Structure 1
Amino acid sequence: MTDETETIRREMLSNLASEPGSREYLEAKHGQVWDTSELQRDFDVLGFMAPLVVARLKSAGTKGTLMFQGSPRFYFGWSPE
């Protein structure tokens, strides 16, 4: 089976890997940032395909996507559908 998103996702991962990984940097660039425990508190994760996560915001029931970086693991860029 061919994954039509693989090239785009690999490019996104490469771009994320080239950026500084601090929480402060991500907050300045993308707004709110979640670590793993904060993500679990605020969202129900429905699926993921690096560097994207599909999730439902618990407080509003809104489905959307977040991006994440591997190390340190932070989630950011919440985009509701």
Structure 2
Amino acid sequence: MCDPTETVRREMVAEINAETGSREYLEAKHGQVWDTSQLQQEFEVLGFMAPLVVARRRDDGTRGSLMFQANPRFYFSWSPE
């Protein structure tokens, strides 16, 4: 299967995970940050391809995307469609 986004996504993953970001670091850089439980409470995850997650915000049904880092797992950069 050919994924035209694979190269770009791999570069993004390498950049995001090059330096482990604490929650405070990510909040300062990207704004609101969610851990896995908080993400599950606020969003319905529709799909993912690292480092991106497609989700629907539960309170208003808005669909959009977030980015995530591997370890510790934090989600950030909510971008509504």
Separation of aligned partners in 2, 1:23 and 1:64: 21
RMSD between superposed Cα atoms in Å: 0.7
How far the C-alpha of 1:17 sits from its partner, in A, is 1.2
Letter of the structure 2 residue corresponding to residue 23 of structure 1: R
CA distance change for structure 1 residues 66 and 26 in 2, over 3 Å: closer, same or farther?
A: same
The equivalences for 1:1-20 within 5 A come to 1-20=1-20
How many residues get paired? 81
Letter of the structure 1 residue corresponding to residue 42 of structure 2: D
How far the C-alpha of 1:14 sits from its partner, in A, is 0.6
Aligned partner of residue 56 in structure 2, secondary structure: strand
Partner of 2:77: 77
Matched-pair identity in %: 72
How far the C-alpha of 1:19 sits from its partner, in A, is 2.9
Partner of 1:56: 56
Alpha-carbon deviations, 1:15-68, whole Å to 9, x = none? 001234200000000000000000000000000000000000001100000000
Aligned partner of residue 3 in structure 2, secondary structure: coil
Structure 2 residues not aligned, in runs of 5+: none
Aligned partner of residue 64 in structure 1, secondary structure: strand
Partner of 2:42: 42
Structure 1 residues not aligned, in runs of 5+: none
Separation of aligned partners in 2, 1:54 and 1:61: 12
